[in-house]
């Protein structure tokens, strides 16, 4: 569902932000765009949108305790 899902874009830089890897890619018009690395994995293509979040309580608690 992402508008750039079928594009191949050159990576011009990589950086970490809040312990998460991001790539900066160059769009066709020359502008840079930062993309979280997880969005480039094959598994991300199979992501489904659901009407309600499904997270284990432990995940929520771990996030709050960080």
Quick: pLDDT tens for 14-38.
Answer: 999 999 999 999 999 999 999 999 9
State residue 43's pLDDT score: 85
- End-to-end CA separation in angstroms for the chain: 32
Residue 11's pLDDT band (boundaries 50, 70, 90)? very high
- SS3 label, residue 6: coil
Q: What is the pLDDT of residues 42-60, one digit of tens each?
A: 888 788 888 988 888 888 8
Q: What is the mean pLDDT of residues 3-20?
A: 92
State residue 29's pLDDT score: 96
Q: From CA 42, how far away is CA 60, in angstroms rounded?
A: 26
Count H helices and E strands in the chain, helices first: 1, 3
């Amino acid at each position: 569902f992402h508008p750039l899902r079928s594009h191949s874009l050159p990576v011009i830089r990589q950086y970490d932000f809040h312990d998460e890897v991001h790539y900066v890619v160059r769009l066709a018009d020359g502008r840079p765009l930062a993309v979280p690395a997880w969005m480039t994995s094959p598994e991300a293509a199979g992501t489904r949108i659901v009407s309600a979040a499904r997270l284990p309580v432990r995940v929520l608690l771990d996030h709050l305790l960080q």
